[in-house]
Structure 1
């Protein structure tokens, strides 16, 4: 079993010069435990079986390994990275592009379900070095003959446990059968239980086994168990929200129906809340995640599967509307806060009937978890709006739009309603649309500015995402 190496400096790794130079420019100097343990064997060509949770730095670990092995001159698909959800695949592809930005002309392509297949077929005709995708859509392209894995040298399976949970086993089998046997495989999973061991055994040859402690500690996460004390769950949740007033927070529910109703009830009471669950179509999911990431929505009410791949480093709070049905899931939920060296709070609401399961959880964690009275918010405390709002524009990468074009249009003083740059927030440009966060109080001004100011020489339609 491999644990972290003594040296955690990226400079000690045998990386190609362009990768090392880019890491330095990104401010990546010290490896996380999972990176220090997995990168040396991965760079030497060994298979790796890594146990790493969200936020442990595993994306950069396998991203550096696959880029170091890439032969850019050979314009063939050399690496396949499979992820359980489109959101995670998008994040992984973005991180690989960031790591590769000083390498010459590396083409990374995402192939995910929930997106139209036509543009993907067009992109595949033009070729790629690295494909990042979800199992169902990748298998579909293999069946169509639009994707070939003939030249594959590396295969990465990210969050393998969740893929099995989501029923992707048949798709995985079909994809694996289509790969060359002589390849390097890196498999990462939050857990290694009886379900995943056969898959790992089938895929890996003499792997380096990486197990590192989670990057979260009791010091970084302040955990509270709140007894309902005769209140309804909704009333108790409102008290917790008004007491902590987190700038961003995920509330976990156990069912899709409960998730939707709770988000609607919170919004009705004046909170900035939206639901994230499997019954939403892909456009709704994408827009909700964009709004949450750019501070236009403060509270995301989510199921566990829908929130998988959600990667917000500075998440202030996690609230369990009730204990998770699987106690391992509880640990994964609370591990989403207190990351990247920050502090976070994790609150769980429990009824009297859940106390026995709380005892089981306490034993599992080796930590005393005692129910405490609900916090009492200030008497004048009221629901809080998100600080930003999101504008959607009907132009994107297909129209050659870049983030700088949006900033230029909104801050151009010629058109009478210019905003200051510090009134603008995060920008996301997709294939056919662009999203920009603006301070909520400047929303009307921003819409007036966009009615007058051209974007890349043309007028665009803008609307506020609700």
Structure 2
């Protein structure tokens, strides 16, 4: 099937089309092709589409097309369930808005100082990307005004309901103008989401991209294994395949931490991501996994929403998901943008009813495989290590400043340096493991932009 180009959308100006081309957006994904005409026409849209399908660009282009950058008022609001997803969406919007001068995109999430956010709101942002709880604090104190809101986006709406934000969404609606465009995106479509749509949208255009037939190519392998043998099987599979990146899904925070601890005890580098963690620890975990400082992330479903890993080799369901839709969402993470992926699922005897539900939904015959014989566990070492440098955006620190310090004063080659992530008060930089200690010591003794900086070695 021929994919439509963005130039077929007459509502997008030439400057935006040039920007999309520069960003590598050459043709529209299915969700973009299905939803953008209605979004650009001003209609309400409710769309079911999984993470990684291109929905952020779909609603982002609609938001920017309606925005008047000369008016300093909040014209669009995007609600997200987690800070990680909010940061990801905000960064994507800033890239999409590069052709527009002086566009202000602001994230409002918990775990960040309220006073700093309040000061940033002294001049109203054009676009706010927020989690519901922190946004309501600002609305209650009058630091955010939605009087001129044109577009409201509910992103990952199903996860917001899972996290108990239903009443918060209704409260945000109370502060919003009645005549607005409301866009609702959800990876799954339980009855509760349909009820939200009925409450907050007007005659929405309904789009369903996440049908079983539309799933990307994912090789699935199922193993029936007793619960007490799952750790051993996991270690064996990781030893055999040696994946560069793998997410292991668990259903509970307790199981998540136990699995992570067992992997690290066998020198298979792993990080845990779950709801009991402080926000700073969650940020650092996501950065370290994304930049290759750990090859395995053990996560719960709620915590993993907003995870943006473009080349995830493997997904392992350590425990089968409670709902078939969640299983579909999990396995789709390892086959983004047409890439092949591998999804492995462990099924204990007490989980067989969940496996049967998957058979009914996916309409496939599960080929139960015999678990491989247990072998000596091979270490799974990370290629990179992460250094945390105090400074960040508040200190006007840029990736080039850190790269210059590492290649100049420290003497590393550019090939030894990985991702550089700039946060408000920190910069995280990935350096090859063999050279990380050297870089750490040299940066402690040197300067960046003429200033001494505190440096920490994270892994």
Under TM normalisation by the shorter chain, which class is it? over 0.9
Distance in 2 between residues matched to 1:155 and 1:122, nearest whole Å? 23
SS of 2:77's partner is strand
Gaps of 5+ in 1: none
Instruction: Report Cα offsets for 1:61-81 as digits up to 9, x if no partner.
Output: 000000011000001000000
- The equivalences for 1:312-323 within 5 A come to 312-323=309-320
2:247 alignment counterpart: 250
Residues 215, 339 of structure 1: 8 Å contact kept: no
Distance in 2 between residues matched to 1:41 and 1:135, nearest whole Å? 26
TM-aligned CA distance change 1:218 to 1:67, over 3 Å: closer
Distance in 1 between residues matched to 2:213 and 2:127, nearest whole Å? 31
Residues 216, 338 of structure 1: 8 Å contact kept: no
* 2:433 paired with 1:440: yes
* 2:406 paired with 1:410: yes
Distance in 2 between residues matched to 1:55 and 1:7, nearest whole Å? 17
* 2:203 paired with 1:206: yes
Instruction: Report Cα offsets for 1:285-340 as digits up to 9, x if no partner.
Output: 00000001101011111111111111212111110112112222111111111111
2:262 alignment counterpart: 265
| TM-score of the aligned structures, taking structure 2 as reference length | 0.96
TM-aligned CA distance change 1:252 to 1:143, over 3 Å: same
TM-aligned CA distance change 1:371 to 1:45, over 3 Å: same
Pick aligned residue for 1:121 from 118, 140, 145: 118
2:339 alignment counterpart: 342
Instruction: Report Cα offsets for 1:106-158 as digits up to 9, x if no partner.
Output: 10000011222111101001221000001111111100110000010111111
Distance in 1 between residues matched to 2:53 and 2:372, nearest whole Å? 32
Name the Cα RMSD after superposition.
1.8
Pick aligned residue for 1:384 from 377, 380, 387: 380
Gaps of 5+ in 2: none
Instruction: Report Cα offsets for 1:374-421 as digits up to 9, x if no partner.
Output: 2358x6761211100000011111111000000000011xx4x41001
Residues 77, 151 of structure 2: 8 Å contact kept: yes
SS of 1:196's partner is helix
Structure 1 residue 19: deviation in Å?
1.3
Structure 1 residue 216: deviation in Å?
8.7
TM-aligned CA distance change 1:24 to 1:357, over 3 Å: closer
| TM-score of the aligned structures, taking structure 1 as reference length | 0.95
- The equivalences for 1:426-437 within 5 A come to 426-437=419-430
Structure 1 residue 364: deviation in Å?
1.7
Distance in 1 between residues matched to 2:216 and 2:68, nearest whole Å? 43
Instruction: Report Cα offsets for 1:197-218 as digits up to 9, x if no partner.
Output: 2210121112211112469967
Residues 155, 186 of structure 1: 8 Å contact kept: yes
Distance in 2 between residues matched to 1:380 and 1:328, nearest whole Å? 36
Pick aligned residue for 2:4 from 3, 8, 18: 8
Instruction: Report Cα offsets for 1:28-57 as digits up to 9, x if no partner.
Output: 110000000000111111111111110110
2:418 alignment counterpart: 425
Q: Report which stretch shifted further, 90-99 or 189-198.
A: 189-198
Distance in 2 between residues matched to 1:274 and 1:298, nearest whole Å? 8
- The equivalences for 1:67-106 within 5 A come to 67-106=64-103
Distance in 2 between residues matched to 1:380 and 1:359, nearest whole Å? 33
Distance in 2 between residues matched to 1:447 and 1:230, nearest whole Å? 42
TM-aligned CA distance change 1:319 to 1:450, over 3 Å: same
Pick aligned residue for 2:143 from 141, 146, 149: 146
Distance in 1 between residues matched to 2:403 and 2:292, nearest whole Å? 18
